[in-house]
Amino acid sequence: MSAVLSTHGLVARYGDFQALYGVDTELHAGEAVALIGANGAGKSTFLRAIMGLLPVAREMVRLDGEPVGGTPTDRMVRKGIAIVPEGRRLFSGMSVEDNLRVAIDQAARMGAKGGWTLQRLHQLFPILAEKARTPVQSLSGGQQQMVAIGRALLCQPRVLLCDEISLGLAPKVIREIYAALPEIRAAGTAMIVVEQDVGLAKSASDRLYCMLEGRVTLTGNSAEVTREQIGEAYFGAG
Ligand code: ATP
């Protein structure tokens, strides 16, 4: 099966500091892949490198087999990749609906086609309809996360990148947000879920990659990898 998104020896640096050391990954159409690893392992850097937010060589990222590494972020979105960034980055001072309308307008300008509409989003997260006129800064963290996911979906992505969407949220809210992911996949969107909670990561994915200090240290079927394997890959053996 050919990959919708793949990385090939992906290397990324912040000045003199090398954050990724040749990361090889594959994501197939409709698949959910989890990326786990400790703080500082390079997970967010990996997503940023894919999104064109860090300089990477063209051949290091492929979309449908086409080299796209280093493509500017807006063009990556146009090509069908959207990110739910760490920290959500909503437009403060604007209502829920206005935040979402920015994505709708952007998608329209790009000529993006897909099934995500405000109405469908309201079915996925009913609270977004209830809070449509509420300024986003007045929402709870979980509600803000739903807006961030909604905004990404309205770009009609084939691939959704989620950066620690459970961070700082209460367990009940985390369950609610993660319960929406299968529905998003059912709509044909593949996803890479960066997650520190290993149990959550496993339950939300078909396969997982574990990173340590900028390298992939484990890859396997999420249902099959053992606690011991993950422990070793997470912290390094010895
Ligand atoms: P976290 O869970 O803390 O977000 P992570 O696995 O996502 O961890 P990254 O944020 O990708 O890790 O960071 C990987 C490494 O790159 C870390 O050592 C971090 O200190 C470094 N790093 C991240 N962003 C920058 C930056 N803007 N400038 C310099 N170094 C950075």
Q: Is 17 in the pocket of ligand 1 (CB under 6 A)?
A: yes
Question: What Rg, from alpha-carbon coordinates, does the chain have?
Answer: 17
ipTM, 2 decimals? Answer: 0.94
225, HSE (Cβ side, Cα atoms, 13 Å): 26
**In terms of Cα–Cα distance, which of 206, 209, 153 is closest to 177?**
153
Helices (H), the chain: 43-50, 73-78, 96-110, 118-124, 127-130, 141-153, 171-186, 198-203, 227-235
Q: For 5-48, what is each residue's pLDDT tens digit?
A: 999 999 999 999 999 999 999 999 999 999 999 999 999 999 99
> What are the phi and psi torsion angles at 64 (to 5°)?
50, 35
| Confidence class for position 106, pLDDT limits 50, 70, 90 | confident
Q: Which amino acid is at 209?
A: Y
**Gap from CA of 109 to ligand 1 centroid (Å):** 33
Q: Is 226 in the pocket of ligand 1 (CB under 6 A)?
A: no
How many residues are recorded in the chain?
238
Q: What is the pTM of this model?
A: 0.94
Mutation to probe ligand 1, out of 39, 54, 86, 164 (largest number of atoms < 8 A from CB): 39
Q: Is 177 in the pocket of ligand 1 (CB under 6 A)?
A: no
Q: For 43-82, what is each residue's pLDDT tens digit?
A: 999 999 999 999 999 999 999 999 999 999 989 999 999 9
Instruction: Check residue 187 and give its pLDDT.
Output: 87
Domains and CATH numbers, the chain: 3-86+158-235 (3.40.50.300)
